[in-house]
Chain A
Amino acid sequence: MVKKLYKLGLVVSLGMFLFVLFSDIHNLDRTSKNYLSEHYISEGVQETGAINLVTSVLYDYRAFDTLGEATVLLTAATILAFLVPVTKADMLGTTFTIIVYQATKYLIPFIAVLGVYVIMFGHLSPGGGFVGGVVMALIPILLSLTYGIDFSEYKLTPNTKKVVEDIGAIGFILLGLLAVLTGNNFLANGQAGFPLGNAGELISAGLIPYLNVMIGIKVGAGLAIIFNSLMKEQ
């Protein structure tokens, strides 16, 4: 009982500190504007060619972060691939009616199209590599859910997914290195002379769409690996 009260006390005092911090920040008199975001908002479209500013931040201004997070995802996929046994897979034993199987079959092309759309239009509309990747990952996940993991992995073996994931990551780095080839810094886009095109068109914003594609491939494959690994049972 004392222990529980002590724990409660700890958390409450942490909450107090947090609250003090938040209210201090809130009460702070902030006259100076946030020049970085101002710059991104006012110049971002010209500088990167992408209408979606989040994409321009993710794949251009701070593309290096994206490389890092892609690596984290890949690491997680790698861990799950070796941590959870690859031997035998079994799905709860549920069988569905034929409606589910047929619907899944017909749904998959639509999902694929949606995924490709979200990835390709990442610099123009809400979405991008991550979101599109997640959508793409739905395909193997749906397969696993309805037909069982065996079928899903027969269609797309874990090795294939792993290779696709690696190719996505390597592709990202290689695209970044394109700028180095032209004598600029890593991951440079507009500065390295890649045509930014007209903002708002599909082929615009230099490297951003291609980076989006790479991340999309990577995230899709990675999530599929993670999901399947977590579902597997001995």
Chain B
Amino acid sequence: MITPGLFYLIGALLLLLPIREKMTYILAILMTTAALMMTFYLVPGDRVQLEFLNYTLTPVKVDRISKLTGLIFTFGGLGSVIYCFRICSRANLRLIFIFIGSALTVAFSGDLFTLYVFWELMTISSSFLIIMASDGTKKTGYYYFLIQVAGGLSALWGVFLQYAATGDLALKTIEAGIPFFMIAVAIKLAFVGFHTWLPLAYGKAPFYVAVVLSIYTTKVGVYVMSRLLPGIDILAYAGLFSALFGIGMALLQTQVRRFLSYSIIIQVGYMIIGISMGTVAGITGAMFHLVNHILYKTVLFMAVGVVVYTTGKDDFENLGIMGRKLPVTSIATLVAFLGIAGVPFFNGYMSKAIIKDAVNEPLLTWGLNLMSFGTCLLFLKFIYYAFLKKSTISLDKQPALSMQVGMGLLTVMMLVIGIHPVWLESVTNMDVAIHYFDKKHLVSGIQPFLWSIAIFILIKKYVVKNYEAPLPYDLYRQIAKQVVTTGYQLSNYHDGKLTKYLLWTTSTLIILLALLLF
């Protein structure tokens, strides 16, 4: 048995071969489908063990949660690879394959070593995706790489502490070094305060890169959090805070992709709350929400991608093209919108319902309602620009067929899950014992949506207004500046004077002697 991620990694290697373009497509589809099939037939409980250095590693370990994550990862991989293989270069496709492959391996890893290695591999491949994209993204890529590696190293330190405390590298709830794992996960999740990379990277990177990154980067964080840090109460409030912050920031954005990235922060808030409950229902709800979120957020990113592809920019104004010229994209966007709004019979509804059921604190319940309401309000803005507002934007070129196929694939899946949520449970053998379509859930699901429509009509002019995005204050840049200044001063001391160097040398000798003698 092998990890499905291996298909992607092998695919990346095979793409090195000098094959024709058509063959590339066939290869890509073949590999992604194979990974999907492989994941589908994995049996929970399987594991592979391996001796490395002097550890016993478990590179593959399947259980229900990882299977669910793996399924949605491979499915998203299939959709996004189909979406982008026509429009990106082969080098980038290779990086995308490595990225997806390592994300999948993380999802199936059974020990911290494997997890860390592929976690960093994800960082490396995604950073190079951003860096190689164009000259405009160099600085973004630099920033992204550094922040992600900082997170990775934090996780590594946590791994060391955990290993030193327990002598075990198995993937389970962490006992030592929790703060460091928290920082690591928080950076991946774009938690408020650690979120600076997310809008920057997704807003600047080419749209197909943003599509791929949005599927995996934050979601791997969610998965790892569910594995390592479940049931930490305080995080639920932090998640709520993060989501509310996301709502506020999203409202101020003028660029659709930045808007969507802040919306990711909101949705991740749901998952954090679910996981922090620590109960089976909570975690299951979070994982289902992860599935749903991947589906609709990817579709939204894809739709925006189509807009960027056809009109060249991703301002809100440009969305207007959607309603008139791009039928497939429009349908997909609508379905995704209803999904993200949590309207019954669309996919977001089911997981939100599970999470809401799992939460038993009034404050959090209210928070969840507020979050749903905020999300709806935000996306009404989106819908307004896309379908209601008059627009004069014209098409530069037609979207590629592959883009629409990839988007359609995910949309169909969304509809299936929305109409028949129990199917998702049965595929993964996770029974949460909940009646999705009874009165109580329907009401609580539809309520925020209706309210938001009402409010939207009332305060429309404030919502759809183009605010000036606030200048972001970035603590990390300040720290970096300090460090660079220190380095500059140190460098100034090396002014080439041999006498000075000799003086340092002799002083060292005396210090050494003194230290050793006394």
Contact = CB atoms under 8 A, between A and B. Distances in A.
Task: Determine whether A and B are in direct contact in the complex, meaning some CB atoms lie less than 8 angstroms apart.
Answer: yes
B499 to A, nearest CB: 9
Contacts of B507: 10
A7 B509 CA distance: 13
B506 A17 contact: no
**7 pairs of A and B residues whose beta carbons are closest in the complex:** A10-B506, A17-B513, A13-B510, A10-B510, A10-B507, A14-B510, A7-B503
Interface string A1-37: 0000011001101100100000000000000000000
A11 B507 CA distance: 9
Contacts of A7: 503, 506
Interface string A105-122: 000000000000000000
A10 B503 CA distance: 9
Contact count band on B:
under 10
Contacts of A13: 510
For chain B, what secondary structure do more than half of its interface residues adopt (helix, strand, loop), or is it mixed? Answer: helix
A14 B517 CA distance: 13
Contacts of A14: 506, 509-510, 513
B141 to A, nearest CB: 46
A13 B507 CA distance: 10
Interface residues of A, number: 7
Nearest to B502: A7
Contacts of A11: 506
Contacts of A10: 503, 506-507, 510
Interface of B: 503, 506-507, 509-510, 513, 517
Nearest to A17: B513
7 contacts: A10-B506, A10-B507, A10-B510, A14-B506, A14-B509, A14-B513, A17-B510
A14 to B, nearest CB: 6
Given A7-B503, A10-B506, A14-B509, 13 more contacts: A6-B503, A7-B506, A10-B503, A10-B507, A10-B510, A11-B506, A13-B510, A14-B506, A14-B510, A14-B513, A17-B510, A17-B513, A17-B517
B504 to A, nearest CB: 11
A88 B509 CA distance: 44
A65 B74 CA distance: 67
A39 B517 CA distance: 36
B501 to A, nearest CB: 13
A23 to B, nearest CB: 14
A6 B500 CA distance: 12
A38 to B, nearest CB: 33
A214 to B, nearest CB: 39
A17 B511 CA distance: 11
Contacts of A6: 503
B289 to A, nearest CB: 67
Contacts of B517: 17
A13 B518 CA distance: 14
A21 to B, nearest CB: 10
A10 B510 CA distance: 7
Contacts of A17: 510, 513, 517
Nearest to A7: B503
A11 B502 CA distance: 12
A45 B316 CA distance: 100
Nearest to A11: B506
Interface in A80-121: none
A8 to B, nearest CB: 11
Contacts of B513: 14, 17
A11 B506 CA distance: 8
Contacts of B510: 10, 13-14, 17
A10 B507 CA distance: 7
B493 to A, nearest CB: 15
A11 B517 CA distance: 17
A7 B503 CA distance: 7
Contacts of B506: 7, 10-11, 14
